[in-house]
Amino acid sequence: MALIRDFAFQGAQMVLVLLLSPLLTGFVRKVKARLLRRQGPPLLQPYRDLIRLMRKDVVLAQSASWLFRVIPYIVFAGTWVAASLVPTFRSGLLFSWSADLIAIIALLGSARFFLALAGLDVGTSFGGIGSSREVMIASLAEPAMLMIVFTLALVAGSTQLSTMAAVMVSGEVGLRVSLGLALLALIMVAIAENARIPIDNPATHLELTMVHEAMVLEYSGRHLALIDLSSELKLLLYVSVIGCLFTPWGIAGPDAGAQALAVGVATYFGKLAAGGVLLAVFETAIAKMRVFRVPAFLGAALMLGLLATLLLFVSGSL
Amino acid sequence: MTVVYALYGVAALLALAPIAIFLGAGPRATNIVYGASLIITAGLGVNALLGLFDHPATTSGVTLPLGLPWLGAHLRIDALAAFFLVVVNLGGAMASLFALGYGRHEESPQRVLPFYPAYLAAMNLVVLAADAFTFLVSWEFMSLTSWALVIAHHRDRENLRAGYVYLLMASFGTLALLLAFGLLAGPDGNYAFDAIRATHASAGLAALVLILAVVGAGSKAGVVPLHAWLPLAHPAAPSHVSALMSGVMTKVAVYGFVRIVFDLLGPPDWWWSMVVLAVGGITAVMGVLYALMQHDLKRLLAYHTVENIGIIYIGLGLALAFKANGMAVAAALALTAGLFHVFNHSVFKSLLFFGAGSVLNATGERDMEHLGGLIHRMPQTAFVFLVGCVAISALPPLNGFVSEWLTFQAILLSPQLPSWGLKFLVPAVGALLALSAALAAACFVKAFGVSFLGRPRTPAAANARETDSNSLAAMYFLAALCLVAGVLPGLFIDALAPVANVLVGTSMPHQSGLAWLTIVPIAESRSSYNGLLVFIFVVLSGSAAVFAIHRLASDRLRRAAAWDCGYPDPSPATQYTASSFAQPIRRVYGTSVFHAREIGAMPPPGATSAARLTVELRDLIWDFAYAPVAGFIGYAADRLNVLQFLTIRRYLTLVFTALVLLLLVLATWP
């Protein structure tokens, strides 16, 4: 019985992240538009875009290979699995022990690896520029992320997200310098990983500033829909990770009743909304960087992560 | 009995070498030599595997009346040797299978065939040896046979230079090992490993041996800054031999290091791990940065071997640190991580070199700038090469990720280490490891993307043909092994338990009995990983997406010209090349590490000649470590040259003076 219940929760989590992620993107766009005193697209516009794209024919470049057609599904599956392993409203998910935070990061790395290959597959210069910049950004963002994971894992004594959330919520950790540094670094990495301003602009089609959009330029139809959905899932994933680690309040425990679950869902929605508003405000307030300023930005994140880890190595209570 | 069977196998390989001389150069000779090598190494591998699984705790040894008369040749298989024999012979068998197809295109087979089985035998002998004399002789035999294979294509000047540098570095490494064993054996000349193990060297002596072992074994394994020969020599050999040199021989060097430092040298001091960790971290990052700058496919792979050796050394260094501080469980975890990476790297690096060899055969090109679009012409090679790329980039659910994940878990245990030096070094090494993992992914996006994807850049690439079935069989087998080791790592960790038991006194908890085949290094609340479940999860959700979208939405597809923002250019030269792909990374890391400079030469106004953009890279390690030494040796040789043209009286005087001086030294020796 318990197993069936756990399966149900795991399934609910998978469906929930899938359904919520376009809404989060729509919400961020709406808030950004309102901040600029524009009306903005309706909240549900990302869903409409996805459905419309899925119904369209795929127009495939003549030089595209079989790999190009498979990659959207790989990217989507990898991102979806990663997103469904992050505790959102309830910790202790059935399969949360199958991949810890390092593995979740690595799964996203797999997705990016294949997406960068897709950029090179058709053999155009825009695809190449996108891929090559994407791997440059990733080569700094991934180690920074791992240093953040190290920091959190050393504080929590675990790399399992459920355990980490439980330790964080228990209050025995308290305020720490290392956690502050890790939070700052994590936000910087999340911005870079999700191709947001100031690293990349998700709305641009000015070629020379594109990174992510250039990489997926040759995709169309259902393939493009899957890739957009993956990006939206990734944004949701990072907001969920930050929420679960730094604001773990309200997450229902493994054997919580209906009331705790309701609180968990409500706080989760609250965290997503807060994350979305903060992201929109930040993006509105800042200008995009030149590509070769990005290494300094991410290098700072890497150094913050390393500093946080070092502090913990030197003293367990910092 | 294990060791007796192993010796029969080695003897058969050694006998095959002279037979190969008489077989000539025809396809029959190729088939016989590689077929026989395949059968013998497969047998040797199974033998070692049985030794590892059936009676892991026991060791079997024999002493043959060879070598030094009062010593004899000690040969022995314990768990450590059995594990490395599995690695050596798995690589050997797969290289032989690959060569059954690949070797047919060899232009001068009589330069390869006799040395090939001898080389395999030599690598087996190094691992089997249980006394210093046999070890060193086998080690040198291994160096010389591989050197002969490196210069098999001797008409190419570059290969000759590679062979020259390799021979120098190999001799240097052997010299260091010779001194290390001399110090270990002590004044009484206890050359048998058992005798060395029984006596513990003093702290100062042990420190010296450690340094010599790092230098001696490291120069063969390719740790920075002793790696200079590796990217020259590995690509110069025929591809199946490249695979052996990169995938297997570097592991034999790691074996030598582990044998000396973990087994023979006695209980470690805490600072030893500092040396090993620092070397490992620097090697990992430098190796991958070098690899990123290459556009020769085989050289890129060779540089990447340097990176993976660094990762292995990080695991070993952590194991040493934990062992020195009495944290046996953590030491077992770190050691298992390092040794698992030894196995993994031998699998995927062999696979990748086979792929590069197939490309070389099909197109005659190693330069990635002349390839492209091979996925259309060689779909199967492309598929297995992609599997190798994903595995080596440490991406789940394949095997490279598991060993790096275990290494990360070991790093997370290290705050409990008491020494301050390690407290500062280990996080830095962790950052270097993370950096090298991320750069490796970038490197293999480049390697696969530029060679196999896009549009063909030359007619040779456009007219490539799929490789033969023997080669493909070898590559498919290794690709399958990458997946199996990735989704069922518990089996491999358990197989390594006896090795850890021998070296650090305990092993990781038993894994294969755990529910759902998860791996749990320490405790489930701490960390766990289940590659199988992740793999099934990804496959299921991917299939679900395919099914749902094709059923409910649309499955129509049209082919059209590439979009490219409206300006598609039919010339394949407008694609991103290997150099342009690496340009952002070169700018970020290369300006400091390689003093990379881009020089744009514009033609004078009015001239119609093309502008040129050249990239200058300096290999600082070569410039500052090797060039001065080479310069000094050249200078000294010039100065000493006059000694060649003395009269007989002067020579006699010299000899007499030397004799007197030596006698004086002896007389005044305390």
Cβ contacts (< 8 Å) between A19 and chain B: which residues? Answer: none
Nearest to A98 among B439, B530, B584 (CB): B530
For chain A, the structural domain boundaries read: 2-314
- Shortest CA gap B524–chain A (Å): 8
Nearest to B553 among A54, A120, A158 (CB): A54
Residue B138 has pLDDT above 90, yes or no: yes
Query: pLDDT value at position B592?
Result: 87
Cβ contacts (< 8 Å) between A124 and chain B: which residues? Answer: 562-564, 568, 574-575
C-beta of residue A142 within 8 angstroms of C-beta of residue B437: yes
- Cis upstream peptide for B521 (omega within 30°): no
User: Three-state SS string across B132-149, please?
Assistant: HHHHHHHHHHHHHHHHHH
Cβ contacts (< 8 Å) between B450 and chain A: which residues? Answer: 120
If you measure CA to CA, which chain B residue comes closest to A219? Answer: B563
Flag if B431 and A60 touch (Cβ within 8 Å): no
- From the CB of residue B272, how many other CB atoms can be counted at a distance below 10 Å? 22
Cβ contacts (< 8 Å) between B592 and chain A: which residues? Answer: none
C-beta of residue B313 within 8 angstroms of C-beta of residue B223: yes
What's the pLDDT band for A171 if we cut at 50, 70, 90? confident
**A77 near B CB under 8 A:** yes
Cβ contacts (< 8 Å) between B526 and chain A: which residues? Answer: 157-160, 163
Tell me the per-residue pLDDT of A187-242, one tens digit each, with 9 for 90 and over.
Answer: 999 999 998 888 888 777 666 667 888 899 899 999 999 999 999 999 999 999 99
Residue type, A245: L
Flag if B559 and A61 touch (Cβ within 8 Å): yes
- Percent of chain B at pLDDT exceeding 90: 71
C-beta of residue B495 within 8 angstroms of C-beta of residue B507: no
Query: pLDDT value at position B56?
Result: 61
Q: Please, what is the end-to-end C-alpha distance for chain B in angstroms?
A: 49
Nearest to B449 among A131, A217, A222 (CB): A131
**A209 near B CB under 8 A:** no
Cα separation, B370 vs B372, whole angstroms: 7
Q: Using alpha carbons only, give the angle B387, B392, B393 rounded to the nearest 5 degrees.
A: 100
Over range B405-434, report the average pLDDT: 91
Residue A176 has pLDDT above 90, yes or no: no
Cβ contacts (< 8 Å) between B575 and chain A: which residues? Answer: 123-125, 128
Alpha helices of A56-176 — where are they, by DSSP H?
Answer: 66-84, 101-121, 125-156, 161-170
Query: pLDDT value at position A175?
Result: 83
What distance lies between CA B111 and its chain's CA centroid?
Answer: 24
Tell me the per-residue pLDDT of B186-219, one tens digit each, with 9 for 90 and over.
Answer: 777 788 898 888 887 788 899 999 999 999 999 9
Cα separation, B94 vs B118, whole angstroms: 16
Q: Give the pair of three-digit tokens for residue A225.
A: 């829909």
Over range B565-570, report the average pLDDT: 82
What distance lies between CA B218 and its chain's CA centroid?
Answer: 11
Q: Give the pair of three-digit tokens for residue B96.
A: 């032989």
Cβ contacts (< 8 Å) between B386 and chain A: which residues? Answer: 67
Flag if A61 and B583 touch (Cβ within 8 Å): no
- Shortest CA gap A24–chain B (Å): 21
- ipTM of the modeled complex: 0.95
What's the pLDDT band for B567 if we cut at 50, 70, 90? confident
Residue B438 has pLDDT above 80, yes or no: yes
B322: left (phi over 0), alpha (psi -120 to 50) or beta: alpha
Nearest to A146 among B434, B516, B537 (CB): B434
Nearest to A97 among B439, B528, B588 (CB): B528
User: Which of A203-212, B18-27, B423-432 has the weakest average pLDDT?
Assistant: A203-212
Query: pLDDT value at position B58?
Result: 67
Cβ contacts (< 8 Å) between B408 and chain A: which residues? Answer: 102, 146, 150
Nearest to B197 by CA among B272, B253, B261: B261
Q: Is the dihedral of CA B49, B54, B58, B61 positive or negative?
A: negative
C-beta of residue A138 within 8 angstroms of C-beta of residue B442: yes
Flag if B581 and A57 touch (Cβ within 8 Å): no
Residue B670 has pLDDT above 80, yes or no: no
The SS3 of residue B518 is coil
Tell me the per-residue pLDDT of B615-624, one tens digit each, with 9 for 90 and over.
Answer: 888 888 889 9
Flag if B556 and A57 touch (Cβ within 8 Å): yes
Cβ contacts (< 8 Å) between B582 and chain A: which residues? Answer: 132
The SS3 of residue B377 is helix
Nearest to B372 among A102, A123, A140 (CB): A123
Cα separation, B521 vs B509, whole angstroms: 7
Nearest to A128 among B431, B434, B575 (CB): B575
Q: Give the pair of three-digit tokens for residue B306.
A: 């340097």
Residue B1 has pLDDT above 70, yes or no: no
Residues 114 through 153 of chain A touching chain B, CB cutoff 8 Å? 116-117, 119-129, 131-133, 135-136, 138-143, 146-147, 150, 153
For chain B, the structural domain boundaries read: 317-546, 577-602+610-618, 625-668
The SS3 of residue B651 is helix
Over range B77-105, report the average pLDDT: 93
Query: pLDDT value at position A174?
Result: 79
C-beta of residue A144 within 8 angstroms of C-beta of residue A188: yes
Nearest to A218 among B427, B546, B562 (CB): B562
What distance lies between CA A301 and its chain's CA centroid?
Answer: 16
- Shortest CA gap A118–chain B (Å): 8
**A289 near B CB under 8 A:** no
HSE-up of A187 (CA within 13 Å, CB side)?
14
Flag if B558 and A60 touch (Cβ within 8 Å): yes
Residue B349 has pLDDT above 90, yes or no: yes
Flag if A226 and B553 touch (Cβ within 8 Å): no
Over range B534-551, report the average pLDDT: 94
Per the prediction, chain B carries an average pLDDT of 92
- Shortest CA gap A187–chain B (Å): 19
- Shortest CA gap B5–chain A (Å): 42
Residues in Cβ contact with A88 at an 8 Å cutoff, skipping those fewer than 6 apart: A13, A16, A17, A240, A243, A244, A251, A268
Cβ contacts (< 8 Å) between B449 and chain A: which residues? Answer: 116-117, 119-121, 131
Over range B568-587, report the average pLDDT: 89
- Shortest CA gap B467–chain A (Å): 19
Phi, psi of A228 (to 5 degrees): -65, -45
- Shortest CA gap B466–chain A (Å): 16
Nearest to B549 among A77, A222, A316 (CB): A222
Dihedral through CA A97, CA A101, CA A107, CA A108, nearest 10? 150
Cα separation, A116 vs B449, whole angstroms: 8
The SS3 of residue B568 is coil
Cα separation, A163 vs A174, whole angstroms: 16
Cα separation, B655 vs B169, whole angstroms: 31
DSSP type of residue B466: P
**Pairs of CB atoms within 8 A across A/B:** 287
**A278 near B CB under 8 A:** no
Nearest to A312 among B393, B415, B558 (CB): B415
Interface test mutation site (partner B, options A47, A136, A160, max chain B beta carbons within 10 A)? A136
Q: Is the dihedral of CA B229, B232, B237, B238 positive or negative?
A: positive
If you measure CA to CA, which chain B residue comes closest to A314? Answer: B423
Tell me the per-residue pLDDT of B587-617, one tens digit each, with 9 for 90 and over.
Answer: 999 888 899 888 888 888 888 888 888 888 8
C-beta of residue B316 within 8 angstroms of C-beta of residue B276: yes
Cβ contacts (< 8 Å) between B560 and chain A: which residues? Answer: 59-62
Instruction: Indicate the angle between helix axes A221-246 and A258-285, nearest 10 degrees.
Output: 110
The length of chain B is 670
Nearest to B255 by CA among B351, B338, B348, B182: B338
Query: pLDDT value at position A71?
Result: 96
Cβ contacts (< 8 Å) between B565 and chain A: which residues? Answer: 126, 207, 217
Cβ contacts (< 8 Å) between B557 and chain A: which residues? Answer: 57-58, 60
Q: Using alpha carbons only, give the angle B192, B196, B202 rounded to the nearest 5 degrees.
A: 155
B505: left (phi over 0), alpha (psi -120 to 50) or beta: left
Nearest to A100 among B516, B527, B557 (CB): B527
C-beta of residue A112 within 8 angstroms of C-beta of residue B392: no
Residues in Cβ contact with A257 at an 8 Å cutoff, skipping those fewer than 6 apart: none
Look up tokens 């963002």; give the residue: A141
Nearest to A303 by CA among A189, A197, A164: A189
Residue B515 has pLDDT above 90, yes or no: no
- Shortest CA gap A84–chain B (Å): 10
Flag if B564 and A124 touch (Cβ within 8 Å): yes
B487 versus B2: the higher-pLDDT residue is B487
Per the prediction, chain A carries an average pLDDT of 90
**A107 near B CB under 8 A:** yes
If you measure CA to CA, which chain B residue comes closest to A124? Answer: B575
Q: Give the pair of three-digit tokens for residue B104.
A: 């047919």
